[in-house]
Amino acid sequence: MTQADTHRIETGTDTVLAQVVDGVGVVTLNRPHRRNALHTEIYEAVPRLLERFGADDGIGAVVITGAGGAFCAGGDVRDGGSARQVSSGDPEAEVAARSDLLTENARMVQLLHEIPKVTIAALPGAAVGAGMSIALAADLRIAARSAKLIPGWSKLAFSGDFGGAWFLTRLLGPSKALELLVADAPIDSVEGERLGLFNRVVSDDELPDAALRWAAEIAAGPTFAFAGVKANIADAQQLPLDVALRRESERMVRSALTEEHRQAVKRWLAAASKSGAPR
């Protein structure tokens, strides 16, 4: 990777680092001394970066990862969770206010899932609780051999947050999701790959380069078309076929009008001409 290929992005905090490498927006949770447990500054910086990368035509893919030997240890229980506390004499108002705050903090998972770029979670180690949810919110996951997914909520008598149950249910189905969340047992890289929760598993020392290579390959592809594919897959999970077909057709027509499509056709015709294949 040459120096010209990389530039750093100011995040406003040392707890989150960001850079652009070969058209890939990279977000790094940077609290290695706390295994990248979530923090108020993370709740604020990561959504800003995801929105920025999602709107930037120069970004073709997004990677989220963690510094050191962990991906994310989830909510920082020792710090009392979010530093922005709420208080009310009305118990139901208190529940509503805290629920609003937790939902706001979890906005990063919605952005990872919905921005029109392929998102990849690169796990150098454990992803626990909300950290597991963040990993599952990405479109794709690449894990170091030592990485684990750990629900973690049941051990603290929590029901779960940051969309963990939502993502697990869509990836594995309701029965398997319930089994894993109730058992609360670590899912190692072998089991994670078998279940399809990890798309790729590599050795620990290979992870940073392997994740960037994969993301750069995607970023170098037809990113407008990939955004359409991502939207088609989202529709397939929630819309009836007739509605999904119409929306898929509209995206197909729009992709045919892009410069990336025209250039792809030129390359295909040139390759076909060289090989002597019929056109």
Pairing outcome for strands 200-202 and 140-144? parallel
One-character DSSP codes across 140-171: EEEEETT-EEE--TGGGT----TTHHHHHHHH
CA 36 to CA 214: how far, in whole Å? 23
Contact 200, 120 (CB under 8 A): no
Residue 37 one-letter amino acid: A
φ, ψ (nearest 5 deg) of residue 140: -135, 155
CB neighbour list of residue 129: distance below 8 Å, 6 or more residues apart? 73, 74, 75, 150, 151, 152, 153, 158, 160, 161, 162, 164
Domain assignments of the chain as residue spans, ordered by start: 3-219, 223-275
pLDDT at 86: 59
pLDDT at 89: 79
Strand arrangement, sheet containing 187-188: 127-128, 148-150, 187-188
Condensed to tens digits (0 to 9), the pLDDT of residues 47-69 reads 999 999 999 999 999 999 999 99
Condensed to tens digits (0 to 9), the pLDDT of residues 240-266 reads 999 999 999 999 999 999 999 999 999
Indicate the burial class of 157 (C-beta count within 10 angstroms; 0-12, 13-18, 19 or more).
Answer: exposed
CB atoms within 10 A of CB 252: 12
pLDDT at 21: 97
Contact 16, 54 (CB under 8 A): no
- Percent of the chain, pLDDT > 90? 88
Could you give the residue ranges of the DSSP H alpha helices within the chain? 40-55, 91-105, 107-114, 130-137, 164-172, 174-183, 189-195, 207-219, 223-236, 241-256, 259-275
Half-sphere exposure of 80 (CA within 13 A, CB side): 5
Contact 26, 19 (CB under 8 A): yes
pLDDT at 4: 45
CATH class of the structural domain 3-219: alpha beta
Tokens of 222: 């037809």
pLDDT at 45: 98
Coil, helix or strand at residue 30: coil
pLDDT < 70 stretches in the chain: 1-4, 78-88, 276-279
pLDDT at 82: 45
Mean model confidence pLDDT for the chain: 93
